[in-house]
Structure 1
């Protein structure tokens, strides 16, 4: 772990003066050499050396937080823990279906095998030879907890620059209990915690008969069975298992000899369970109908969403027809994904062959299309991801040509109210609307008569423009008058004669510059 503060990094550099640092392959890195970057205004960090072309090196490692090395912390902690007990184990960071390295850690013990799932990239296989140990973000359904009695979990807590491993045990309707690794053992059942020992002991110990004052201790066997059937119906509703609910209803039909009051409760529970099962079956049928329709409409996102919903709704099993529909949906999504990847490869090949002398804006359009297609893909692979990162970075360094300037606008075509300062708009009476000195012009015709105009009439402004020229003729003095559009704009950089890039009047700095040149009597070119 590289220290984040500059003063700590100085000490770190002195301590490792003769060491080198490399981008770890087991972290999903590229294996190239790293250097340390010291900053006072942000956190310090490792960085790659630039490439031979001077551009920043692009590494395929996506996760850079402290949790991205949790699989290495797990290996180190478990190895130390086992060695202290005189046991050695083998470790393997498997990558099924190309998942990122570190999602799964296999631990091979002398008699058993553990598979640690640190994230949700790989679904746990409860029927395999290994025992799954789940990260805190990996979900587990109630049926699995009931069937297996418990599930072990793992989490890593930061302590300074290290990560501490803790093992938890989760059971049905119970919160997860957490323990230090030293409190755990490897038994014939697998990974065991103090909570596991209590659960196993409770399961294997027969329950004692409890005496309740004021109640009859002996209850007919049929009534006991009726209570058990109603509990099973409640469990079926809670776990959304329609098959279990229907099976219990059949057992209720075959049960006889129940006391009258309990029989009424049993019949009501049976009716409600059958209505619920029928409603759930209809909802399930509707899900599969919508899935088939989404495939027919070629709506991949809808198919993916419905497929996830169906897998959650059919955890208790599916019919052969339903399995066929699910397989068709999975095949369709695989074909869509393959088509996206093929399109992505075509775009990458096209971009890599892009001529160096072409307009960079055309290249930007192609890269934008590439990133848009990649956003809809699920598994790009390391090579494609590295190519995307490369072009995404290069896009920021493309030499785009400057935006073309606005066409030049001759002075005589500039609106009259822009050629006269606002302070001079009302220095003369208006010959059109009759507005006096200091009054704004008004509309004098049509339905808007009497309303103030946003700008003066042209006949009112024309004498203001002509007055300097007339005075020059009378006195024989040639005076240079600079207008705003006669000079370049200091704010937006527009050339003389071109409009400013902002709508309306020119920038104030441009008008000020024109007044300065007029006062200095600078000749116009």
Structure 2
């Protein structure tokens, strides 16, 4: 079997047969918090995800999305897994079961769940929910075509097509989608009808009735389809039914615009209705009521809009990046057009703030990643050199011990106490002068106090502006390995020759600031 190189974004907790799913954050800055939250848990390529049942680990990257990965096989080779679904939505069927079961329990209802595999479809395509007198069949993808009037009510994923004839005959169909929230997915139920936009609701807004799954939109659709159209008398003038028919159409569109939250459309339709003349008295009364309700609705929307921009302005002042991002989504959805100058200024400041904070966070992540990579690489080199020294594989002892000391300084706290004592022994054997910063341990042994490496004392945003006299790297460029090979490979950390002038300048400024001023008499 060829190795599948698609990235795994979902797993289950605790064991291979677990039904508790979770989604891995895509960004490195979020993965640190994720690891801290689940540090005592184990991740598995779940059997109910169509996986192999193997254990997973998390992979952190700064230049691409983070993901789960299998542990290598016993032979050290990459693990081969035949799992087909690996993306963020690959555990949606488990989230559907979990959220639906919790929702039904709040209503005192129990249900059975089955991940039905029809016609060879993969697990997770269909979720059957068996209620006491009803049965729902959730189609999360297009693998299984929905069957109408077959003893169950289909609920369709957003990618599952439905014909206009079905919408007309059935009056409406239900949709389902799952939105990502942190490491989880949340269920939304939508109601779609012919010539109407799909309206979405959280599960708490839905009910199970004799009709089946019901949302607030269902009642409006049923009422609209059940109300007979107003009769027209042949004795009236020809102009009257035309004007009244146009008024009724505008009234319907006005109601739909309010349901969809389209303030601009509500304003325009209200103006059109106010400009109609020649309508019947009954229609005129309907128009007056509708315009009064539309005006009140627009006032509410205006207040919501003012509060939204005020919250965004405050979040920018407080530099709350997460809150800024969530508020910007609402602002763009609700007030993308016809902004005032003040609103535009707030939105621009918010966008700049998010961009600046993102760049700063990316820089911090990169600095930390480079430092950790350098320390890990140096720690490995320390272990290798110590083993080779014990085997007597080096002809020039002093040179290798000096290299060993440099790597130990870069490795920092990764050097164990035992390795530190070995390094001291080899330094004495190589004739290197003993360090002055040795202190005895409580048990009589000695260990080195390691000096903090220069690259941990100067942030990247400072040294990247300097020219490197060692490898000739220009400002704005990373240092390259200056070992005479000419490969041009980038170093994990900059050369000390690039960092030392910055530290010297800092020391000079500190001395200047602390130097006592001479009093003038």
Quick check: TM above 0.5? Answer: no
TM-score tier by shorter-chain length is 0.3 to 0.5
TM-score by length of 1: 0.39
- Whichever of the two has the greater Rg, that structure is 1
